[in-house]
A and B are shown apart, each in its own frame.
Chain A
Amino acid sequence: MSLEAHIPSGPLSQKWSNHKQDSKLINPANKRKYTVIVVGSGLAGSSAAATLSELGYNVKCFCFQDSPRRAHSIAAQGGINAAKNYQNDGDSTYRLFYDTIKGGDFRAREANVYRLAEVSANIIDQCVAQGVPLAREYGGLLANRSFGGAQVSRTFYARGQTGQQLLLGAYSALSKEIARGGVQMFSRTEMLDLVLVDGQAKGIVVRDLVTGKISSHAGDTVLLCTGGYGNVFYLSTNAKGCNTTAIWRAHRKGALFANPCYTQIHPTCIPVSGDYQSKLTLMSESLRNDGRVWVPKKKDDCGKPPAQIPEDARDYYLERKYPSYGNLAPRDISSRSAKEACDEGRGVGPGGLGVYLDFADAILRYGHDQAADKNISEPELRKLGKAVVAEKYGNLFDMYECITGENGYEQPMRIYPAVHYTMGGLWVDYNLMSNVPGLHVLGEANFSDHGANRLGASALMQGLADGYFVIPTTIANYLASQKPGSVKTDHPAFKEAEAQINGRTKKFIDIKGNRTVDSYHRELGLLMWNECGMARSREGLQKAIDRLPALREDFWNNVRVPGSGADFNQELEKAGRVADFLEFGELMCLDALQREESCGGHFRVEHQYTKEDEAAKRGQAGEALRDDTNYSYVAAWEFTGDVSKPTLHKEPLTYEEVHLAVRSYV
């Protein structure tokens, strides 16, 4: 199989313009004859559904949530990048492009990333026109903040809930098109299979989550905008419903899965408090601007209250290991260092899985800055300093207290890394079409733009870029070759898929085993976290690969799904998702195993810079050691019928403009 990415010719900066010129068009009178199926209603799905409807296509949009407005894009906090250069600080399309491709550790496709940077400015225009209340300055113009991995201020934001505001903007556009009759919305409806007719994606089979009814929807093309697979780890910052079922089902029907091992683990999350933990909550990493990260030097001190651990018994390990970046070391490095400290038995809090994030010094420092009288008492200084810290980070301290019951001003907060985002996804070409003709994949569900690591404030940008500006142009390249409405749901392929789904549902219900779905999901999550999490080794990955088939078999023999398939049954919903995660997990480990290098979020302990490398100025000890000679490719996996034996295809990554460099933070 050859992977043809269909990158347009010409210089990087003109590829998208050229492509738009060369793309096919469909006559307005004909557009309405085409039906586009959109699965997912987050930023990518809602924006695509609304925009395609505006263009005249007949759109059907599906989401498993009770309203399209609740898709998990809503939880994004920080902001959205755009190369507007409103701050006049030297930003440009090229800089945003370069920062993104470097942040991705040179494992993303150059032309896609450039296009992302190019359309970023239009996204802001569109959102403001929709009434999204982005933050403003007193002069009435838009405000910006800076974010990780960039030296310019290009991030637009709406308090701490940029995701909600952008999603509500896209949802309002969707509502407008529902009102006009261009979009038919199906909420509480989950896609359970993709239907191919003559090798082309022509429809889906869905389950009405309220009535349990299985039905088919035919279309001329299918768009999967179904988000990432972070919940394979069970515990993540994803919403509980986030799942891989849509893209995994498509993978099983022939769509290649690209770079599944690329996952992002965020360093500043609230640690697990017990075995009942259901999800993890992220706190903005801006906390590391002022907080100092430490663990006790000696294991014996871990049980003591932090105040009783004297200064010289504390290990400020980030400051020790990365003196120039200190507590602001990049996400992947900070996360791994926390894991190392805990693995050494020096973690704090329940289960020993936590490190301290301490504001005591910052409070005193700000107190000194504020104090007019240099002789004031320490309690007074603390009071002054606390006010400054509260102004900068008050909402985060409140959130921490709400969840842990602890006061971050009085004692150090406890943090631990958590799974946050997945860069891998279904393989797509420049038109966002997978190798299955007619199957398009947008947003986090595809692999295309973030390489091996995503920069902050880029996920929202990609979702909206794909939905508002890319797919509306590129979809015609496929549709123009199709006779509209050629496939109906009476085609045998739909009946066959429905029968399979009904059989699967019956199987779940009939097992009547001894273990709940969650207990399997937790076991899978722990295995994946231990062996395919922040640091991966050949041995550990092999262990997981050996364990997974047995775990799957146990699941299919011993899971208990109460109730029936014919009504509202949340356990049945979860069972289907976990069954798919149990298969997907193995592919993730296989991908991590074959990639004998470290890059971005993929860290193989066998491949890191050593002290000798550092002495020779090749790279910092402990950093990810990339192998550009052998691994500068996209790993795209084909399903072969045997979950344990997928076939690897490689799309070489060629760089016309950028030079590959070591991602250094020394």
Chain B
Amino acid sequence: MASNLNLKLKIWRQPSTNAKGTFQDIDANNIPETASFLEMLDIVNQRIMDGGGDPVAFDHDCREGICGTCSMVINGIPHGPRRGTTACQLHMRLFKSGDTIWIEPFRAKAFPVIKDLAVDRSAFDRIMVAGGFISVRTGSAQDANALPISKDDADSAMDAAECIGCGACVATCKNASAMLFVSAKAGQLNSLPQGQPEKHRRVLGMVQAMDKSGFGNCTNQYECEAACPKGISVRWIAKLNRDYALATVHESLLAPAKGKGGGAA
């Protein structure tokens, strides 16, 4: 039979981006262990509002682990203690009555806090705009089977494509590096024949946008892979480093005057 939990929450409260934040102690009693983590927060918010207070702001949407909206650090780990799981798919039965749970926003210079647990991850969109695409106009494509792609290459590209863009890799990294995200995004397209013509432009553009957004450098600690809810492998980072080296050489020797920085002029 399902039982209920009594928990002590320490939740980060920050009214706005530039305001000072602090941990608030909240007793969360009588939480059904069958509830999801976000449903536990719903219950807590309901009680806060019933008492006339301001509910905890947090981002969430699909609540089935695919949209990548939910973004919180639970007991020091982005998305919480269960591997390969987003916060929305985490369930309370993983916790014990009496537990203290620390809940914080994803912390990174490039992800400013909007309010409480909600952060601004638009830097990821800017990286994508700087080259995360194949320039193909609608209607100009050839028949889909005209270009056979080996199953290995397609599956490998799919491994990278599973990234849901949540930013847990950044949040867990001591340098707040976005290398796992950028490498998965560039790697997917760079692995495919369709992605070859723009490969160098793409890599240079995306890396440049990443640096400009204030993400840190990668020092190969691999926390990112451990925190990734989709298990994206750090081998993509190795590939991005190789692709970046090639692109740099290509830029300096073969195409010095053009091609820098992806689509935007």
Give A contacts to B, CB under 8 Å.
47, 50-51, 54, 65-70, 72, 74-75, 84, 86, 122, 124-142, 158-159, 161, 163-165, 168, 171-173, 175-176, 178-181, 185, 187, 210, 237, 239-241, 273-274, 276-279, 281-282, 350, 402-405, 468-469, 472, 516, 518-519, 560, 562-563, 567-568, 570-571
Contacts and interface: CB of A to CB of B under 8 A. Distances in A.
Nearest to B38: A278
B132 to A, nearest CB: 6
A103 to B, nearest CB: 24
A405 B34 CA distance: 8
Contacts of A179: 129-131, 133, 262-264
A179 B149 CA distance: 28
Contact of A130 (B2, B34, B121, B194): B194
B161 interface: yes
5 contacts: A172-B128, A175-B129, A176-B263, A237-B64, A276-B35
A136 B155 CA distance: 8
Nearest to B15: A567
B63 A239 contact: yes
Interface string B187-198: 011001011000
Contacts of B53: 562
Q: Is the interface of B mostly helix, strand, loop or mixed?
A: loop
- Which residue of B35, B61, B85, B137 has the most chain A CB atoms within 10 A of its CB atom? B61
A187 B122 contact: yes
A516 B49 contact: yes
Contacts of B142: 125, 129
Interface string B122-136: 101100111111111
A520 B259 CA distance: 55
Contacts of A567: 15-16, 115
B132 A140 contact: no
Given A70-B67, A133-B161, A567-B16, A138 B151 contact: yes
A124 B85 CA distance: 31
A84 B146 CA distance: 13
Contacts of B60: 240
Interface stretch (B39-47, B96-104, B220-228, B245-253): B39-47
Given A131-B189, A239-B67, A66 B120 contact: yes
A86 B138 contact: no
A180 B59 CA distance: 30
B145 A131 contact: no
Nearest to B146: A125
A122 B139 contact: yes
A66 B122 contact: yes
B257 interface: no
Interface of B: 2, 15-16, 32, 34-36, 38-39, 42-43, 46, 49-50, 52-55, 57, 59-64, 66-69, 85, 89, 91, 93, 114-115, 118, 120-122, 124-125, 128-145, 147-151, 154-155, 157-158, 161-162, 164-165, 188-189, 192, 194-195, 262-264
A192 B264 CA distance: 31
Given A133-B188, A138-B151, A140-B149, A178 B46 contact: no
Contacts of B155: 133, 136
Given A66-B59, A135-B154, A278 B39 contact: yes
B32 A131 contact: no
Contacts of A171: 128
B16 A276 contact: no
A518 B48 CA distance: 13
A469 B158 contact: no
A187 B49 contact: no
A134 B66 CA distance: 17
Contacts of A132: 161
Contact of B135 (A176, A239, A560): A176
Q: Which 8 A-B pairs have the closest CB atoms?
A: A140-B148, A179-B263, A129-B141, A172-B133, A133-B158, A125-B141, A128-B144, A176-B133
Contacts of A130: 133-134, 136, 194
Contacts of A134: 144, 154
A141 B158 contact: no
Given A131-B188, A173-B133, A278-B42, A136 B125 contact: no
A75 B89 CA distance: 14
A568 B14 CA distance: 12
Given A278-B38, A567-B115, A72 B128 contact: no
A82 to B, nearest CB: 9
Contacts of A68: 125
Contact of B64 (A65, A75, A86, A241): A75
B61 A274 contact: no
A277 B39 contact: yes
A173 B64 contact: no
B73 to A, nearest CB: 17
Contact of B192 (A131, A180, A185, A278): A131
Contacts of B195: 131
Given A51-B138, A67-B125, A273-B34, A279 B63 contact: yes
A93 to B, nearest CB: 15
Contacts of A138: 150-151
A54 B66 contact: no
B61 A240 contact: yes
Contacts of A163: 66
A571 B142 CA distance: 48
Contacts of B35: 273-274, 276
Given A176-B263, A516-B49, A279 B64 contact: yes
Nearest to A210: B114
A181 B129 CA distance: 10
Nearest to B134: A131
A642 B232 CA distance: 53
B230 to A, nearest CB: 9
B66 A75 contact: yes
Contact of A142 (B131, B136, B145): B145
Among B54, B115, B144, max chain A CB count under 10 A is at B144
B145 A141 contact: yes
Contacts of A241: 61
Contact of A129 (B49, B120, B194): B194
A87 to B, nearest CB: 11
Nearest to A240: B61
Given A241-B61, A274-B32, A562-B53, A74 B128 contact: no
Nearest to B59: A66
The interface centre, meaning the residue of B16, B124, B132, B262 with most chain A CB atoms within 10 A of its CB, is B132
Given A66-B121, A131-B194, A168 B161 contact: yes
A54 B144 contact: no
B132 A172 contact: yes
A276 B42 contact: yes
A126 B142 CA distance: 8
A395 B87 CA distance: 18
A65 B69 contact: yes
B165 A67 contact: yes
Contacts of B120: 66, 210
B64 A139 contact: no
B166 to A, nearest CB: 10
A560 B195 CA distance: 52
B141 A133 contact: no
